[in-house]
Structure 1
Amino acid sequence: MNFKVDILCKAFPGKSTISALGWSNVVLIRTKDKNILFDTGAQGIRPNILRALGKLSIEPNQIDSVFLSHLHFDHCGNASLFPNASFIISEAEWKYATTEEDIFTTEESVKYLRDRKKIIISEDGDEVYPGMKAIFTPGHTSGGMSLVLEADGEKWIIAGDAVKNRVELLREKVDMSLNNEQSRQSICRIKGLADRVLPGHDCWMKIENGKIIPEEKVQVDITLPKGMQDGKNGVFKLVIENRPLV
């Protein structure tokens, strides 16, 4: 394997009665001479991204490329943090984001991206870097893309919101899509190709003999202001265990 993969900001699969959570995966892929980011997350995680990059001794201006799975607020909201990056976007997604109305598309990010260097992907399966290919996985949006990594004889797919969580991966049915049949086909394609999948809003999953096996426990802590003792000493722990799904 000629690259290293780190999740800079981890996702959580869930909804809120107050607002869309927007807690999606932000992934750093490092080769010998390139730093590649998969998605940038929502604006609320800016300090987390910068802190995570700092722990790896990487400055935002050292990110060479940003692969954007699609242009919803929780996946491209921090594009402006990376001034030297080229942005990898599918042709269909760029057209959709710049011509169609979608409440989840951020005008600020699209405006910023208009003047940035872009690598527009028009062919399914285009090689982005050696051992990394972009595949079209529409449904959630018109031009959604996923990234296929060739890793020691295995295929790892970072899926974005083509598949948002473990249940969608198992059942091949999605909660939110512009085209449910396209989403189903995209998930089936991902499952047919991958040994390992990272959904947009969940942890890494192994696919073995029809089983979907989460690789870790997913946890988010919500801390209340000091003096409020609800939860456990003012902390609510949201935990999803790593049980296989069949």
Structure 2
Amino acid sequence: MTLVPGDWDVFSIKYADRNARTRADSFIFDDNHDAPHAMDYFMWLLRRGDEIILVDTGYDHEEAKARNRPIRLDPGKALAPFGLKPEDVTQIIVTHLHYDHAGGLHLFPNATLHMQAAEMAYATGPCMCHDTLRMPFTAAHVCEAVKRLYSGKVIFHDGSAEVSEGLTVHCIGGHSRGLQCVRVRTHAGWLVLASDAAHFYENVYSEKPFPIVVDLQDMLDGFATLRRLASHPGLIIPGHDPLIRQYFPQEMAPHIHRLDGGPMTQPDGAD
């Protein structure tokens, strides 16, 4: 297919995985709740000419030790195959402030953050009085976002907004109050980085909610939003599904897969 000027290159970057999980950790009301269900951890890189935008940052070795969730690759070093150092990144879309998506903000000191205003309000507001809702956050990561705000390096969005030509964000909520997905124009069509609006293909394709949730209706409504935003369900990219590495080609290094050409075969359930 001919590349249309202005289309984005999109890459998934795997930095960690966790295999000691079951389907009960991934789906509410799952009949096969005790079956194993592994999870991969990704961040994403968008590239168009000299323009580079990072989507989320992963978490570092200190956070990995604190949560006993080891990482395989330092998020900053994970960008080396692109010829990038962390200091080269000047824009980051933060889908939400959970530890595994914003735990590496401090590694990218020159970046301006794109966030939903609702996420900052949620992560610094009264909901954090509840241990269950606070659990996926780490105070130091939230404080890093606040420090970035006070240095003039946060751009807030309220709902849907254009970050750059052919690149938009859309507030989904559900998993976290200000969770946003990222819609990217590629030569395969409109691709949607769901982040945790759909951890796995099965979440969105079968409309099965993930257990960590602040608003269940928003999460369920979000599955329809993901389908509406993507040109095809196969261009919805879940936030943590190991199947990504089967459906999309490896590029440059074992931890990097290229997404903008679309899947090599359509994911099961994509229709």
Question: Which of residues 238, 245, 251 in structure 2 aligns to 1:199?
Answer: 238
TM-score, L = length of structure 1:
0.77
- Give the superposition deviation at 1:5: 1.3
Q: Please report how far the alpha carbon of residue 175 of structure 1 lies from its aligned counterpart in structure 2 after TM superposition.
A: 2.2
Instruction: Give the number of the structure with larger relative contact order, counting CA–CA contacts within 8 Å between residues 6 or more apart.
Output: 2
1:107 is aligned to: 139
Counterparts of residues 1-246 of structure 1 (less than 5 Å): 1-9=6-14, 16=21, 23-43=40-60, 44=64, 45=71, 47-99=73-125, 100-101=127-128, 102-116=134-148, 117-122=153-158, 124-152=159-187, 154-176=189-211, 177-194=213-230, 195=232, 196-202=235-241, 215-216=247-248, 244-245=268-269
Which range moves more in the overlay, 149-158 or 20-29?
Answer: 20-29
Point out where structure 2 has 5 or more consecutive residues left out of the alignment: 1-5, 27-37, 65-70, 129-133, 251-265
Q: CA deviation at 1:153?
A: 6.5
Structure 2 residue identity aligned to 1:165: F
Shift of 1:14: 6.0
- In the TM superposition, residue 11 of structure 1 has moved relative to its aligned partner by 6.7
Please, which runs of 5 or more residues in structure 1 have no aligned partner? 206-213, 219-241
Conserved 8 A contact 2:15-2:75: no
Show CA shifts across 1:67-123 (max 9, x none).
Answer: 11111111111110100000111000010011131111110111111111101112x
**Identity over the aligned pairs, expressed in percent?**
25
TM-score normalized by the length of structure 2: 0.71
Q: Distance in 2 between matches of 1:204 and 1:38?
A: 19
Map Cα deviations across residues 172-203 of structure 1 (whole Å, 9 max, x no partner): 12122111111010011101221201111115
AA matched with 1:91? A
* Distance in 2 (alpha carbons) for counterparts of 1:245 and 1:5: 22
Give the deviation of 1:63 after TM superposition.
0.5
- Is the contact between residue 46 and residue 78 of structure 1 (CA under 8 Å) also seen in structure 2? no
Judged with a 3 Å threshold, the aligned counterparts in structure 2 of structure 1 residues 69 and 159 are, in CA distance, closer, same or farther, namely same
How far residue 3 of structure 1 moved from its aligned partner, in angstroms, is 2.2
Number of residues of Structure 1 aligned to a counterpart in Structure 2: 214
